[in-house]
């Protein structure tokens, strides 16, 4: 998954969602600074402010290693934790109290496809793949692959509808 450095790539997807717009705009700007050596030299202070504002004040752990596709939406941005190795496709919806990460220090992180809608309170853990056009219901715990065009719910998440 290739990183897109456009700062406003999520702006229109978050219309009517000022908190999501703010978080993603600040994240995209931080990514641009972090991966552009000349900018990093002059704007290192911005990265410190980003960590303070987004991670500490808003409670959204969206670190620089994570790759988010364009058109990402963050609704009710609070208590979101994304491991730095997470890869998320285009046009995905992330809601509050979401954790996406690995199962331990030596394990890999999930790869999430395009157009995935993730409900509130979801945990997605381990070396797994989530296909395109998937809906994951609120409160689900995902520890296995989910194929494209599916709906998954529960603890552990099970597929209730395949498209």
- Is position 141 within any domain? yes
In a domain, 109, yes or no: yes
Determine the structural domain holding residue 48 and report its residue range.
12-162
Residue 85 falls inside a structural domain: yes
Please report whether residue 53 resides in a domain: yes
Instruction: Look at residue 7 and tell me if it is in a domain.
Output: no
Could you tell me if residue 4 is inside a domain?
no
How confident is the model over 82-116, as pLDDT tens digits?
Answer: 999 999 999 999 999 999 999 887 789 999 999 99
Residue with tokens 């450095």: 5
Segment 7-28 mean pLDDT: 91
pTM of this structure: 0.88
Residue 26 lies in a domain: yes
Q: Is the pLDDT of residue 4 over 80?
A: no
The token pair at 160 is: 């209730």
Residue 5 confidence class, pLDDT cut points 50, 70, 90: low
Is 111 inside any structural domain?
yes
Distances (CA, A) of 58 to 55, 77, 104: 6, 7, 26
pLDDT at 2 over 70: no
Number of alpha carbons in the 13 Å side-chain half-sphere of residue 108: 8
pLDDT for res 9: 87
Q: What domain count does the chain have?
A: 1
Give 122's pLDDT tier (boundaries 50, 70, 90): very high
Using the predicted structure, report yes or no on whether residue 1 has a pLDDT greater than 70: no
- CATH value at residue 55: 2.160.10.10
Mean pLDDT of the residues in the chain: 92
- Which pLDDT band, with edges at 50, 70 and 90, does 42 fall under? confident
């Amino acid at each position: 998954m290739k990183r897109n450095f456009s700062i406003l790539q999520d702006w229109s997807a978050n219309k009517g969602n000022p908190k999501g717009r703010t978080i993603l705009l600040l994240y995209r700007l931080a990514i641009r600074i972090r991966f552009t050596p000349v900018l990093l030299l002059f704007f290192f202070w911005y990265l410190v402010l980003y960590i303070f504002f987004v991670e500490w004040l808003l409670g959204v752990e969206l670190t620089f290693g994570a790759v988010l596709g364009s058109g990402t939406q963050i609704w009710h941005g609070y208590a979101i934790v994304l491991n730095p190795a997470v890869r998320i496709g285009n046009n995905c919806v992330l809601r509050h109290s979401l954790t996406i990460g690995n199962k331990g220090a030596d394990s890999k992180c999930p790869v999430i496809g395009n157009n995935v809608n993730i409900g509130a309170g979801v945990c997605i853990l381990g070396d797994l793949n989530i296909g395109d056009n998937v809906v994951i219901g609120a409160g689900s715990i995902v520890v296995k692959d989910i194929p494209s065009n599916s709906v998954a719910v529960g603890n552990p998440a099970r597929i209730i509808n395949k498209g």
